[in-house]
Structure 1
Amino acid sequence: MKRILFLILGFVQIAFGQSEKGSKVFWEELKKHCGQTYEGTITAGATPNDPFSGKKLVMHVRSCAENHIKIPFFVGEDKSRTWVLTFDNDVITLKHDHRHQDGSEDKVTQYGGTASNSGLPNIQSFPADQFTADLIGYASNNVWWITLDENSFTYNLRRIGTERVFSVTFDLKKPIATPDAPWGWEGK
């Protein structure tokens, strides 16, 4: 009887999706890229005055621990940005760590949000949290999401209620040379 029950449960898991939470599958897939660097292109929201336009966009999956992944994001020579992902209780949090060239924190830093559920294996969504709303009032309606598959990693931003949308897609099939440390990471 137990064998039949396990077979039925196994069939249900196969028929209706993976047995692992989407966030765990996503997390493990992202960790496979630890140490790798990729170049990206803006795939939505580019404007002529955008500080990202015309710049080399690079992400480096620099630091992977059991519950933290840190991904510096360089815009040309600007090495001020790091995406910090944290995995806790089957949900992922995204924060934006912004630094000055001397390594000190920018006054607008540590904003982001926590997924409201475990999400899917190839997409995680992060609505702005209260800290973000208090820090940057106009960003209180932000939703960030990351898509991940075998070919690409895409970082996205949508400001609900506005036309603001931004996406940058990185080609995971073409690793590039590892850059120098981001601002504030020297010696780490």
Structure 2
Amino acid sequence: MKKPFLLLVLVAFQFSFSQTETGSKQFWDKLKTYCGQSFEGKITAGATADDPFSGKKLVMHVRSCEENRIRIPFFVGDDKSRTWILTSHDNVITLKHDHRLEDGTPDKVTQYGGTSSNSGLSDIQFFPADQETCDLIAYASTNVWWITVDEKSFTYNLKRIGSDRVFSVSFDTTKPIKTPEAPWGWKQ
């Protein structure tokens, strides 16, 4: 009599645990499945003729996956200055943009981004501009970034609230490509 009851309690505990896993945890776990892989992308919104991203090869490389930090260099042609840094703390994810000069030193405009206001969903996380961003880049104080992940893609997005500014780049995660060289500021 005790064994079936104990088994039932264990099954119920496992079920309740799996049902309470947050959207941010599921999102984080999905991102980690890309670790070590690189993907080519294309601009899906916001491209203009004078946009510095237009006509360039766009590559993301999920280069570093730690327990609470994922670093994703984003290359625009030969420009290897950008790395998206995602950190997770207490079921909330923060996105920062690490910009480096070619010699590896930090750019004067770096570490801007934002923190999710809640745990989000398993396939999308929003990052409204934080105070550091507002202090660094006043015009970006109304920025909202979001990242979506699904079975076929990773998409990075930006919308500047109150303006026409929107930008999206989508990466096909079904077709990994050759890993690029290290981004600026990284040792192999």
- TM-score, normalization by structure 1: 0.92
* Residue 54, structure 1, aligned to residue 55, structure 2: yes
Partner AA of 1:183 in structure 2: W
Distance 2:175 2:19 in 1: 28
Match of 1:186 in 2: 187
Q: Find the residue that maps to 1:28 and give its secondary structure.
A: helix
Q: What whole-Å deviation, never above 9, does each CA across 1:101-141 have from its counterpart, x for those lacking one?
A: 00000000000000000000000000000000000000000
Partner AA of 2:125 in structure 1: Q
Runs of 4+ more than 4 Å apart: 1-4
* Residue 20, structure 1, aligned to residue 21, structure 2: yes
| C-alpha deviation, 1:52, in angstroms | 0.2
Match of 2:156 in 1: 155
Q: Equivalent pairs: percent with the same residue? A: 69
Partner AA of 1:56 in structure 2: K
| C-alpha deviation, 1:19, in angstroms | 2.3
Q: Find the residue that maps to 2:175 and give its secondary structure.
A: strand
Distance 1:18 1:132 in 2: 35
Within a 5 Å distance, the mapping from 1:28-177 to structure 2 comes to 28-177=29-178
Partner AA of 1:59 in structure 2: M
Q: What whole-Å deviation, never above 9, does each CA across 1:63-104 have from its counterpart, x for those lacking one?
A: 000000000000000000000000000000000000000000
Give 5+ residue unaligned stretches, structure 2. Answer: none
Partner AA of 2:41 in structure 1: G
Distance 2:20 2:105 in 1: 43
Distance 1:186 1:87 in 2: 24
Distance 1:169 1:18 in 2: 30
| C-alpha deviation, 1:18, in angstroms | 4.0
Q: Find the residue that maps to 1:27 and give its secondary structure.
A: helix
Partner AA of 1:38 in structure 2: F
Distance 1:96 1:18 in 2: 32
- TM-score, normalization by structure 2: 0.92
Give 5+ residue unaligned stretches, structure 1. Answer: none
| C-alpha deviation, 1:186, in angstroms | 2.3
